[in-house]
Each structure stands twice: as structure tokens, then as C-alpha cells.
Amino acid sequence: MEYVFGVVVASLLGFLLMFPFQGKSREGGMKRNAEIQGGCRRSLSADQKRPDGRRVRVIERDLSEPDRIVGELLQPGGYLKLVELGLEDCVEEIDAQRVFGYALFKDGKNTKLSYPLENFHSDVAGRSFHNGRFIQRMRGKAASIPNVSLEQGTVTSLIEENGAVRGISYKTKNGEELKAYAPLTIVCDGCFSNLRRSLCSPKVDVPSFFVGLVLENCQLPYPNHGHVILADPSPILFYPISSTEVRCLVDVPGQKVPSVANGEMEIYLKTSVAPQLPQELREPFISAIDLGTIRTMPNKSMPAAPHPTPGALLMGDAFNMRHPLTPVASTINTLAGALYKVFSASSDRAMNEMRQACFDYLSLGGSFSAGPISLLSGLNPRPLSLVVHFFAVAIYGVGRLIIPYPSPKRMWIGARLISGAANIILPIIKAEGVRQMFFPATVPAYYRAPPTN
């Protein structure tokens, strides 16, 4: 009966668009219809142009296979988008692993959260893989299209005339400086973009770093699932990236991390992180540390604040960024920020109660887990569902506190819990835009995704 009040109340709350154009030869004698600068999104954008004969030039800084520690888990909603575009074969022949949901661990307890895939074809699931292999498949797909060309070069600036973008200036891999013109330039040069300032007002925050390891021949407690450890001070992620490898990402809050070079990182991982892992993951985790292939990368956050500019489109991490917890930042932007704040430990008892309430709420199963996991998987893109479940978790947490003994202290903690929940979600809504989240039809078309059939 302790959780009845919370359960009852919570249950009640319960790509690219281009126009046809003709090329015009200008400086350098180049005749091209589009330039795409920037991984994954630029190749995907090029692949999308297949049906109507548009000519596309893809300019990549480096065409060799990238070696990254993120961008390795594709949610089911993302896989469905690949199917829609006819690109599902890009996750084939790269030893990609099917992912059916998540397992959540906290204080020795765990719960499995399955994607709600009952109404989909049996092939629909998440996919996890080596990011570089996936990128190369996408590039190969793009390069096989007669009207798409890939070129290695570094874009140095956008060419602007009368308030519109007309093309790009870039250096070839041989150092030759060239210009190329097109009616539409798509900029997707990643989280370290040097071009975004011309097209948006970036406010970049770095809340934490990821420390990446690869565990060899490691058997996860729940095969074909992502694993989220609610550790102190922040979550730890595990997910397969091949039939023999498991990626581990340790979130380290703050603006700097222990040094890898002088051994501080190894000590931190072995003494502070390893003891918090499930028993079956500790030995493979320590073995991965001993191999010495520890990598770090900043987790950046940047709400979208575009300057609508004729002739240019900003995409991907160059456009906006979210914390990549549970690989959902590019799927449901508000969910990524909210989850990270709830899943991180806090010195505030009210926020720790919120964290525990979230774990217990998801452990209830049924609609309590299916709703949030459908958001996480990209199968339900409605922001209102996020807000409803977020406050349902908060109210459920209050119910846990005040039933059966609603003492003044417990009621005060409950009030702070609700206040803390509001302080998490409301700034996110404000930063993203109330209209963009809840009334997208009222937003000018250049802020919205193209309609789907």
C-alpha cells in the first residue's frame, strides 16, 4: 500500500527539403548544385537525393573511416527512418547488434525495459555498431549514386551575398583553395563546427565528459540491451557494438576529467567506478582499463537558435546538441537533458528521491515503462508525453514519501521534489521553445521537419 497513492495519481497523468534547380558555372569552373559539408547526416542527406536527379557534392574533411566513441546506437525510430529512406542495408555487414531495450541498475537492483515493438515487423529494433563502419556504409551508398560526388576537403567559410548563402570556400586535400556555388548549402560539420556562427546563435555548455572503453568478449547481464548504471555521481552506459565487443561510457561531470597520461584516470575508474558496477561486469571493465585504450570526449549541450538564412540549412550537431545519455539526444532533445539530470546523483535529498522514484516508476512495468521507453526509442515523438510522464514520476515520488506517514518533514521533501522537477523540465521547455514543443504547426516552416507521407 505504500506506493498506491503515487501509482494512482501517476497513472491518471498517464529531411531535407530542396527545390529543383539548374547549376551555374562560376569561379574555379565548378558546376554543382549542392554542397554538403560536414558523418552520418551528410551521407544520409546525399542518399536522400536519389529519386529526382539533383546533383549533390559532399565535401568531407576526412574520408577515412572515423573512430568515435559515440553515435553507436540507433534507436528503433531511427531504424524505421532508414527503412523509409531505403537505407536499412547500411546497418548490414558491419556486425551490427540488434537492441531490444534497456536494463536499468541501481543499488543492487535492476529492471528490464523493453521497446514496445509488438506492432512492428520482426526486423524492427534498435541497432548498435561501430560508428565508423556505419559511416563508411553511408558514404558508399552515397558514392554509388551517379548524381552524388564525394570530395575530401576542408570548408573554411560560407560565401554570402546580399544576406543569402551562395556557396562555400574550401581547401582541397592538396591545399588548393577553391570556391563552389549552389542554390542550397547544407552545413553539418559536427559538434566542433566552425561554420555555425553564421547561421545560428550558439550557446554551448559542457556539463560532463564521457570516458570510453571497449570490453572484449564480455557477456552483458541482458543480451541485446543497453545497460544504464545509476552510479554516483552520474550514469554509466554499456551496450554491444559488435558480436565480441561492448562499449562502456563513464560519465564524469564537470569541465575537466582526471588525466589519462599520468594515471589519474586509471585510478579513478578502478577505485570509484568499478565497485559500483554489477559483479559480472567488473572484471571485463578492469581488463579494459589495463589495456590502456581509454578515450575521453566532452558532452556538449546547445539548444537550437537558428538565423533563417536563404540558401543554407544547418543540421545535426552543428545545429543543436544534447547530452548523449541513452543515445537519444538526436531523437528526443528534451528527454536527453531531463534524463541526465534525473539520473545523476545529488546532495539534495529531494532530487535523490526523484531519482529513486524514476527507477521504481519504470520498474512498475506496463504503461509506466512503455510510455517512457516509447519516447526513448523514438517511436513516440510527442513532447507532451514526456512532460506528463516526467511529472507523473514526481507525483509518484511524493506518494512514496507521504504514504503511510505524511510527516511535515516528508511533506516538505515532497514539495521540494515537485519544485525540483519543475526546475528541470521548465527551463528545458523554455530553451527549446513552447511553440516548437507543443504547437509545432504554428511555427514557421523553416523551424520544422519536412512532412512525411
Q: At what angle do helices 383-402 and 333-343 cross, to 10 degrees?
A: 20
Please check the confidence at residue 155 and state whether its pLDDT lies above 80: yes
Please check the confidence at residue 14 and state whether its pLDDT lies above 50: no
pLDDT value of position 426: 84
- Contact status, residue 301 vs residue 205, Cβ threshold 8 Å: yes
C-alpha distances out from residue 415 to 248, 342, 349, 350, 405, Å: 36, 16, 12, 9, 15
**If pLDDT is split at 50, 70 and 90, which confidence band does 385 have?**
confident
How many Å apart are CA 21 and CA 181, to the nearest integer?
12
Phi, psi (degrees; rounded to nearest 5) at 324 = -80, 30
- Percent of the chain exceeding pLDDT 90 equals 50
pLDDT value of position 327: 53
Please check the confidence at residue 363 and state whether its pLDDT lies above 90: yes
pLDDT value of position 45: 54
Cβ count near 391 (within 10 Å): 17
Fill in the DSSP letter of residue 240. Answer: E
pLDDT value of position 135: 94
pLDDT value of position 326: 56
Q: Report the mean per-residue pLDDT for the chain.
A: 83
Which of 414, 432, 249 lies closest to 337 in space, CA to CA?
432
pLDDT value of position 196: 85
The predicted model gives 220-237 an average pLDDT of 96
Cis check for the bond before 76: say yes or no (omega within 30 of 0).
Answer: no
pTM of the model: 0.83
Please check the confidence at residue 248 and state whether its pLDDT lies above 90: yes
The predicted model gives 340-366 an average pLDDT of 90
**If pLDDT is split at 50, 70 and 90, which confidence band does 453 have?**
very low
- Contact status, residue 376 vs residue 102, Cβ threshold 8 Å: yes
Model confidence over 129-141: pLDDT tens digits? Answer: 999 999 999 999 9
The predicted model gives 369-377 an average pLDDT of 88
Superfamily of domain 17-94+129-204+302-314: FAD/NAD(P)-binding domain (3.50.50.60)
pLDDT value of position 76: 94
Beta strands in 230-271 (DSSP E): 236-240, 245-253
Please check the confidence at residue 10 and state whether its pLDDT lies above 70: no
Tell me the residue type at 54: R
Beta-bridge partners for 252: 209
Please check the confidence at residue 243 and state whether its pLDDT lies above 80: yes
pLDDT value of position 130: 96
Least confidently predicted of 113-122, 284-293, 428-437: 428-437
**If pLDDT is split at 50, 70 and 90, which confidence band does 6 have?**
very low
Cβ count near 203 (within 10 Å): 10
Residues 347-354: contacts with CB within 8 Å, 24+ apart? 348/416, 348/420, 349/413, 350/413, 350/414, 350/416, 350/417, 350/419, 350/420, 351/417, 351/420, 353/397, 353/400, 353/401, 353/413, 353/417, 354/393, 354/394, 354/397, 354/417, 354/420, 354/421
- Contact status, residue 43 vs residue 141, Cβ threshold 8 Å: yes
- Contact status, residue 143 vs residue 126, Cβ threshold 8 Å: no
Please check the confidence at residue 270 and state whether its pLDDT lies above 90: yes
User: Does 247 or 422 have the greater pLDDT score?
Assistant: 247
Tell me the residue type at 367: S
Model confidence over 20-79: pLDDT tens digits? Answer: 333 333 444 344 545 555 555 545 555 554 446 678 999 999 999 999 998 899 999 999
Cβ count near 201 (within 10 Å): 12
Instruction: Round the CA-based radius of gyration of the chain to a whole number and report it.
Output: 23
pLDDT value of position 332: 58
Please check the confidence at residue 179 and state whether its pLDDT lies above 70: yes
User: How big is the CA angle at 301 (ends 444 and 278), to the nearest 5 degrees?
Assistant: 130
pLDDT value of position 15: 25
- Contact status, residue 158 vs residue 312, Cβ threshold 8 Å: yes
- Contact status, residue 336 vs residue 323, Cβ threshold 8 Å: yes
Helix (H, G, I), strand (E, B) or coil at 15: coil
- Percent of the chain exceeding pLDDT 70 equals 83
Please check the confidence at residue 382 and state whether its pLDDT lies above 80: no
Please check the confidence at residue 8 and state whether its pLDDT lies above 50: no
- Contact status, residue 323 vs residue 338, Cβ threshold 8 Å: no
How buried is residue 132: exposed, middle or buried, by Cβ count under 10 Å (0-12/13-18/19+)?
Answer: middle
Least confidently predicted of 227-236, 245-254, 266-275, 376-385: 376-385
**If pLDDT is split at 50, 70 and 90, which confidence band does 17 have?**
very low
pLDDT value of position 304: 76
- Per domain, the residue ranges of the chain are 4-14+322-447, 17-94+129-204+302-314, 205-300
Which of 376, 331, 98 lies closest to 225 in space, CA to CA?
98
**If pLDDT is split at 50, 70 and 90, which confidence band does 335 have?**
low
Model confidence over 190-204: pLDDT tens digits? Answer: 888 888 888 888 888
CA 360, 334, 39, 155 dihedral sign is negative
pLDDT value of position 194: 83
Which of 147, 157, 138 lies closest to 37 in space, CA to CA?
157
pLDDT value of position 380: 84
- Contact status, residue 135 vs residue 259, Cβ threshold 8 Å: no
